[in-house]
Structure 1
């Protein structure tokens, strides 16, 4: 059978929280990595910086062709190498036309985020703007003839040529900058960088990617909390619902236990407690039903036992009053009625005794006594009675003292009832046995006979009130309360009485060397007097 595993509610909650935090940390790490990846792929200036740094040896050695093989440049990028006059010394795009010295003056030096834009204002002129992503740094206003009307920076030429304007307009979508360097021979040169500026300043794609990542991250965190909370709630509420369902069925009369659950220790403990309570109530209800049935049997048996002698007495009295019985026979029938009256009185006395002993407030009068001496004296007192009835007493009583607390009168009643039952229900020649011994904390008395014994149906109910054999019930030779009274008296002594088991019967056979096939034996266990071992 698989062993149930339970956790406390606190550990269960903390376990779920740790798992959810672990998932959230993992999602955060993935989000940061993805965001950094986007930033690194979009950071053009980092790429260009490394291109220029790696190109220094080739720039000094004038190995411009080698620059075209750099992995730092994208397909959309290009570069030109020119002298101070604007003459093209090398072009990755195959350009051969000269830029011109004046045009070079309007190309901004290499700087992160720097750009320029030439706006053609129809029929008005031109607006040349220099700046970065944060603000406009410089501006120049040109008329329709390309004359510089106003500028915020010192630039050469008051008038731009058509060629210069055309070059500036052609590079409107390109981030165009110049990087000045000196060759190993001391020659001043310019590296003109034609960089695709659309990706740099197009925030839409970057914002979309970041938004998607953030939405995915938020959705992941939300689903983590939702699923974690749902599984935790389900694991906690499912056993609670099982317990609630079981309690509802219990209130409706069902006594089925709740099946084993997998859930918090607290709930599992409550289920186990409920099942124990349910089992206790089931046993109590079964005992109550048995008690009710027993009371019904007692009422029926008592009615029968009272009605039988009363009916006989009433019948004979009516017959005598109607002169149906000859006067010569009156003594015989009067003796019968006297016997029935005596039996009726004995029955009433037995009922009274049983009711008194059964009352919880009735206290016996105990005094220290030697159980060996008490049993020995009792059987010595009934020896002649047993001999007259044709019964033989065989006993094994220790010589040493066995100290117990006894109500002598009541314990005498116990032995009287056991002996009288044996005399009534066994034939002459029956042996009556009495064995007494002391155990660690008990005085054990085994008494019985080797008569015909009890029926198997009667044995389990032998100590119940008004239980007796069919023959006794028919003849009215017993009240059915004797053994019930015996049981009550022994219990009030703090002891127990039961039909003797196989071990006790074997001890009787071994002690007296007599073959016993059937018989009825009782074992009485009494606690030793306090302080006795």
Structure 2
């Protein structure tokens, strides 16, 4: 039975499962790596200042709502009015007020400007501060940064940032050199000028190490995911391989216990399906063999019963007549009649034993023919000429149709003559006087066909099906003359010739019984065979 669920080979299934399992683990590892990397990115990710500054809640004064833009403690913001007074602060550490000069020292947000501060000590022991303000354009540093040198009193000793100032206060210097604060001016909804001071909190090394170590916990998910995927693949392989193997084992056990095995729609890999389909064929053949064995047992029992019946009848008659003569129960004038009856039964018994002998001989595996290249037409002419007197004395007529050209077949003359004798004797024995016998020969491209029939009583349809079985005769079973082995012997001899004999279910019009004898044609003789 063909399997409807197509699958590949077991090797291919294992390779696909291994590759799919490996790919799944790689995908899990990639997903965990992405989560871990995203977690690390969140550690460095600053607050969304752009979103905060564009949020309508800023101009509306709903500053508390803006705290949602602050992530992971990486920033805070404060709002100052036009006079520099603090209006709102999301966290501590902001000054309560700024002057205009102090606010001007805070780096503007969104402008590509950075201030680097370097502290130096002069030979006279005084301290100076070097401030370098760099402007970046398209990600590149400007070729001429602005430089300003402040003395230890924070007075401008050299250069400047173009604001015209000659000195700075300590607070202004701290704001100027800070890279954590940014200012962003905006207006409220009613037009009042305001300033947002944004503070970026730099992550310390200790905080980074703590966050980095905590991020490794994400990889702990790999173990349960690995176990889950492994269990899923084991379940799938069990379903694909173990179940079909278990069904196959159950079928083999059932077969070994002589329980009927129903053909199954085998699933699983190709090798398991093939074994299952082979088991189905084996079970079917075994069932057929068992049925044939039972039929052979029945035939053997019937054969023994028929042989016993055919032997018992003449032996019983012979024994009865001999006992009657020995006991003096037969008058002297009747003894000759009894002896002739005993002689007749003995001849019938001899004929029956000879038939058994011939049947056993042709059924023996070592039974062989001695074929010769023979013209079937000439062979049949000679046979009918030899049998003509016997046919004529039985008051049967003969109609023959034999082609003039030769039809060569490989025949064992003695055995094929026995075939014709069996068919002819059956026709003479079971038909009334005046029956016509028909013999026709025709040749095809590879075989020759001999039709042998008569227009007599015919064979009943219920017997025609088993006419070639042993001990089956054309008339009532086990009645009349004949052993019922002639046609069985005939079929065996025809099979040994490489041909066949059949009873035509639709005889030629004008005939009641017609046997078809088919023989393979002999190949033409080679030049080597024709040499003297």
TM over 0.5: yes
CA distance in 1, matches of 2:524, 2:7: 48
Displacement after TM superposition at 1:355 (Å): 1.6
Q: CA deviation at 1:423?
A: 1.2
Please point out which of 409, 412, 418 is paired with 1:407: 412
Cα offset, 1:520, TM superposition? 2.6
User: Kindly tell me: are residues 389 and 43 of structure 1, through their superposed partners in 2, closer, same or farther at Cα, counting changes over 3 Å?
Assistant: same
Partner of 1:495: 499
Aligned position for 2:150: none
Picking from 489, 503, 527, the partner of 2:520 is 527
- Of residues 478-487 and 251-260 in structure 1, the stretch that sits farther from structure 2 once superposed is 251-260
Partner of 2:152: none
The answer to whether the 8 A contact 2:74-2:203 is kept is: no
Within the alignment, does 1:459 sit opposite 2:436 as a pair? no
Q: Does 1:30 align with 2:31?
A: yes
When residues 532 and 209 of structure 1 are mapped into structure 2, their CA distance, relative to the original with a 3 A threshold, is farther
Q: Which residue of 1 aligns with 2:75?
A: 77
Give the Å deviation of 1:345. Answer: 0.6
Residues 468 and 491 in structure 2, CA contact (< 8 A), matched pair in contact too: yes
Of stretches 29-38 and 290-299 in structure 1, the one that deviates more from structure 2 is 29-38
When residues 454 and 208 of structure 1 are mapped into structure 2, their CA distance, relative to the original with a 3 A threshold, is farther
Q: How does 1:15-26 map to 2 (within 5 A)?
A: 15-26=16-27
CA distance in structure 2 between the aligned counterparts of 1:35 and 1:90, rounded to whole angstroms: 43
**1:186/1:308 CA distance change after superposition, 3 Å:** farther
Match of 2:396 among 391, 394, 406: 391
> Contact 1:246–1:258 at 8 Å: present in 2 too?
no
Aligned-partner Cα distance in 1 for 2:298–2:487? 19
With 461-470 and 200-209 compared, the bigger mean Cα shift is at 200-209
- Using the alignment, how far apart are the partners of 1:319 and 1:14 within structure 2? 92
The 8 Å contact of residues 80 and 89 in structure 1, kept in 2 or not, is answered as no
Deviations 1:98-154 (A, max 9, x none): 99xxxxxxxxxxxxxxxxxxxxxxxxxxxxxxxxxxxxxxxxxxxxxxxxxxxxxx9
Give the direction of change, closer, same or farther, for the CA distance of 1:216–1:328 in structure 2 (3 Å limit). same
Distance 1:77 1:351, change over 3 A: closer
**Contact 1:243 1:258 (8 Å CA) reproduced:** no
In the alignment, does 2:486 pair up with 1:482? Answer: yes
CA distance change for structure 1 residues 302 and 96 in 2, over 3 Å: closer, same or farther? closer
Per the alignment, residue 7 of structure 1 pairs with 8
Residues 358, 79 of structure 1: alpha-carbon distance in 2 compared, 3 angstrom cutoff: closer
Q: CA deviation at 1:497?
A: 1.6
CA drift of 1:295 comes to 1.3
Instruction: Find the aligned partners of 2:403 and 2:164 in 1 and give their Cα distance.
Output: 135
TM-score by length of 2: 0.70
Q: For residues 388 and 285 of structure 2, what CA distance do their matches in structure 1 show?
A: 49
CA distance in 2, matches of 1:78, 1:481: 117
How far apart are residue 222 of structure 1 and its match?
2.8
SS at match of 2:432: coil
Question: Which whole-Å CA distance do the structure 1 matches of 2:243 and 2:428 have between them?
Answer: 66
C-alpha deviation, 1:78, in angstroms: 4.1
Deviation at 1:262, TM superposition (A): 1.3
* Structure 1 residue 215 corresponds to structure 2 residue 213: no
Q: Over aligned residue pairs, what C-alpha RMSD do you find? A: 3.6
Match of 2:367 among 356, 362, 368: 362
TM-score normalised by L of structure 1: 0.70
Alignment length (residue pairs): 418
Q: Is the 8 A contact 1:466 1:481 kept in 2?
A: yes
Query: Relative to 1, partners in 2 of residues 1:484 and 1:77: Cα closer, same or farther, differing over 3 Å?
Result: closer
